[in-house]
Amino acid sequence: MIKATSGASILDTMVLNPVQYEAVCYDGGPQLVFAGAGTGKTRVLTAKIAFLIEQKKILPAQIFAATFTNKAAAEMRARLETVFGLPCQGLWIGTFHSLCARLLRRQADKLGFPASFTIYDSDDQVKLLKKILLQYKIDERVMTPRSVAGAISKFKNACVTPAQAAAREGSFYDREINRIYEAYQTALKKAAALDFDDLLMQSVLLLRNFGDVAAHYQDFFRYVLIDEYQDTNLAQFYFVKLLAARHNHVFAVGDDDQSIYGWRGAVVDNILSFEKHFTGTKIFTLEQNYRSTGPILSFANEAITPNVHRARKRLQATRPGGVPVVVSQYRDDRDEADAVADTLAASIAGACAAGEMAILFRTNAQSRVFEETLRKRKIAYKLVGGTSFYERKEIKDCLAYLRLLANPLDDISCERILNVPPRGLGEKTEGALLEYAGQKQKSLLQTICSEPLDPFGPRAQRGLQDIKSVFELLGEMNARKESPHEILNQMLTLTGYLDNLENDDSEVSENRIENVNELVNALTTWNEENPDKSLCDFLEEVSLVSDIDEWDKTATAVNLMTMHCAKGLEFKTVFLVGCEDGILPSRQNFDDERKIEEERRLFYVGITRAMNALYCSYALQRFRFGMVTPMAPSRFLRAIDQKSYTFIDTSSAYAPPPRSETPQFSRRDFAGPSVKDDYSYSQETVQYHRGQQVLHKVYGQGKILAINGFGADMRMTVLFTDGSRRKMIAKYAQLEIA
DNA sequence: CCATCACCACTTTTT
DNA sequence: GTGGTGATGG
């Protein structure tokens, strides 16, 4: 480590190693910084901005810096402002999506959108696609809204417009998709809405199709900085290429080994062939890892080595000492959770604060067992992600009102609130309203507010009149620039939304009331912090928050999140749970070696979050999809030399259960790489047939309704005498023939 | 029109 | 366990 010494500079206060320092101060054109996990990437990026503002005298407003999360952006800005005292007014720093939204709001008219356009999330997207599929009379079994959404997303991530898509050769299915894509884009435009992918694609189209706009921004933005470059997609690449065309100052930071977003269109090739696309590129490689101890790093290096598609590099440990990585085998998911809780409790009582520890898993569904166990043990935890606050029904309802107020063309939001709270506007009225609006060539809300309501029955008229007066009042408030939280409060009163929830005394609605109140609070706070921002700004922020943006590092609770979510974070102690084939790697990626490599990178990302202690674990069976399923240790673990970790098998610590309860598979001790893939099961098969009366030791007598598969994979549905119907795996169910 | 219940299919990761 | 959908009765 050396300290920068060129004159009195902010850089002097930042401890940078020689490569970091060189990367920060280099100013000879495009730069690519390969920054392995824990090598000080954020530090370099922050220092680079400081260098540009302080040394190169670049105006903050002329720097375009794309980060991976809003949180990272906010932290960097705060650091620059408060620690270094640099004015960052106008600095373009944020996620690609929010930066593009900012750009598009300013130039919306060029693309034929109002500046107040709405941002549709995947939920809205699916709703809109459902409507279109219905219109086109396409059977949902042939094409689901989700699959179409995926296809459209693919187009947009590669910046393929409907016209370009239509010009391509393709199967009947492809042509159908193209038709829907075009209809979908038309519908979005009519609703003055953009989806997530549009934010990127339309920004590219803006620069591509409007030479003067492009020239302006190309001239204006002197430097373009991109973090996590390995996770950019084609649209983002085009955008960067266009934006930096004039000054050619591109500063990209990333790590191909941490590319984990291929499934949503990211192209690792963006980083791997950066040099080819930006001539005169200088490459910097950061390999000094300051985060993890030696044992964790060797484990990480070993884990990622099998990947073929990567730029060769190896992280160097700088921290001395360290305890071995622990790999543990458990009987089932509950045992795994219990053991993790034990270790957590011991650590909290000892050396490590709860907030410094994290449980990382592959899928959100895995969080459940841990939540239950931790709650039982009274260990405070914080679940990051899952269904985020803003995706809850009641919150989306409230936001739909606000969105509709900001953009009366948004029919999806209007349909959402039409009968929420219930006001007698059911399916029939909705259909009639849709029809009527179509005739009048207006949006739903416009029709309700400005057309005679005579064609509707008296009941419907009353309901529609309700909506009309609500929006007239809210519209006036908005026009008087009253604060968004007052508008929300007024909405809740006028519509009786809260009253409606209060009348329903179920536990769910109690929770919902709390959530709505939380929304009011959030909006109030936001309003205080951003007195000059509008309702539109709030809605945009809400649409673009990511799960991790909500995360608070200082909280004194154990962190639970997916490995994807944990990217960019670090914890003193990390539990990598559910390291099982079928989960990590996911079964759905078994057939594709490239996807397996991405799963392996995810495993690598998980490992490299750990600073001092890493526990990897797997269970031999776990409760999934409503039944107990046998599991085998992850192939990623099996590929690591057993000398690189300490193995603990707690599954054999149990006293052998009575014979009738013993699962009928041979439980082999895990023995590192020497173990073969044959986690075989004994052939002690019983002949079952449909309609047979059987006896279960917990549920009692029942009848076999259906049998699927055979041998070790046999599953059956059994109807028990208590009326319950259960799916079970034959070899665990231990059914006796009655 | 609305609330309720039974049944279904689905659970990879997310801006 | 979830959540969405469809049939049924109030």
Give the total residue count for chain A: 738
Task: State the SS3 of A468-509.
Answer: HHHHHHHHHHHHCCCCHHHHHHHHHHHHCHHHHHHHCCCHHH
| End-to-end Cα, chain A, rounded Å | 75
Is A258 designated active site?
yes
Give the nucleotide nearest to A97 (CA→C1'): B15
Task: Let me know how many helices (H) and strands (E) chain A has, helices first.
Answer: 29, 25
Closest CA to A38 of A641, A614, A595, A636: A614
Residue A600: per-residue pLDDT: 96
Whether the Cβ atoms of residue A262 and residue A598 lie closer than 8 Å to each other: yes
Q: What is the mean pLDDT of residues A315-321?
A: 91
Most confident of A19-33, A131-145, A639-653: A19-33
What pairs with residue A3 in β-bridges? Answer: A15
Percentage of chain A beyond pLDDT 90 is: 54
> Please, what is the average pLDDT of chain A?
85
Q: Is A288 a catalytic residue?
A: no
Give the pLDDT confidence score for residue A10 in this predicted structure.
77
For chain A, give the percent of residues with pLDDT over 70: 86
Q: Which nucleotides in chain C lie closer than 7 A to a protein CB?
A: 1, 3
What are all long-range contacts of A341-348, with beta carbons under 8 Å and residues at least 24 apart? A341/A370, A341/A373, A341/A374, A341/A377, A341/A379, A343/A575, A343/A615, A344/A374, A344/A379, A344/A558, A345/A377, A345/A379, A347/A573, A348/A379
For A266-281, what is each residue's pLDDT tens digit? 999 999 999 999 999 9
Q: Look up A54 and say whether it is catalytic.
A: no
Instruction: Return the half-sphere exposure (C-beta side, CA atoms, 13 A cut-off) of residue A322.
Output: 27
- Whether pLDDT at A180 is above 60: yes
Mean per-residue pLDDT, A375-391: 84
Q: Which of residues 392-431 of A touch strand B (CB under 7 A)?
A: 419, 422-429
- Which residue is catalytic, options A176, A197, A198, A227? A227
**Residue A128 pLDDT > 80:** yes
Q: Which of A88-97, A135-144, A397-406 has the lowest mean pLDDT?
A: A135-144
The amino acid at A126: V
**Band of residue A518 on the pLDDT scale cut at 50, 70, 90:** confident
Contact, A242 vs A207, CB < 8 A?
A: yes
Q: Is the CB of A626 under 7 A from strand C?
A: yes
Active site residue: A331, A609, A635, A638, which one?
A609
Q: Which is the catalytic residue, given A67, A95, A202, A258?
A: A258
Q: How far apart are CA A207 and CA A347, in angstroms?
A: 54
| CA A230 – CA A272 distance, rounded (Å) | 8
Measure CA to C1' and name the residue nearest B9. Answer: A625
| CA nearest neighbour of A665 among A712, A729, A728 | A712
With 0-12 / 13-18 / 19 or more C-beta atoms within 10 angstroms meaning exposed / middle / buried, residue A363 is middle
3-state secondary structure of A567: coil
The candidate with the shortest Cα–Cα distance to A305, out of A316, A313, A317, is: A313
- Position with higher pLDDT, A735 vs A542: A542
Burial pattern A177-187, b for ≥16 Cβ within 10 A else e, equals bbbbbbbbbeb
Higher-confidence residue of A562 and A549: namely A562
Tens of pLDDT, residue by residue over A640-692, are 999 999 999 988 655 433 333 333 333 333 333 322 232 222 223 345 555 56
A121 is catalytic: no
Active site residue A468: no
Placement of tokens 């034929």 in the chain: A112
Q: What is the pLDDT of residue A139?
A: 72
